[in-house]
Amino acid sequence: MKNQTNTLATVIDRFLPVLNTKTKLPAHTLRSLDAIQKCRTPYMGGHIEACNSCGEIREAYNSCRNRHCPQCGSI
């Protein structure tokens, strides 16, 4: 069995096109689903974080800040 991380964004990617053809989703729902799909991806932009102790540098992507997003809704 494949080791795959399922997130809400991957579920939306997979099933939203089918759902959208069978039913008309409200605009506010589509906006929330779009934000969740793009959360913490290059689409949202990013910034560089550097560790003061070891000097490690990494790129971090910005969050969508949508209250329905499981990654950042409670921030």
pLDDT tens by residue, 39-55: 999 999 999 999 999 99
In this prediction, residue 4 carries a pLDDT of 64
From residue 52, give the alpha-carbon distance in Å to each of 22, 30, 39, 43: 52, 40, 27, 28
Q: How many residues belong to the chain? A: 75
Please choose, from the candidates 39, 31, 74, 32, the residue with its C-alpha nearest in 3D space to the C-alpha of residue 60: 39
pTM above 0.85, yes or no: no
One pLDDT digit (tens) per residue for the chain, 75 residues? 455 678 899 999 999 999 988 888 999 999 999 999 999 999 999 999 999 999 999 999 999 999 999 988 755
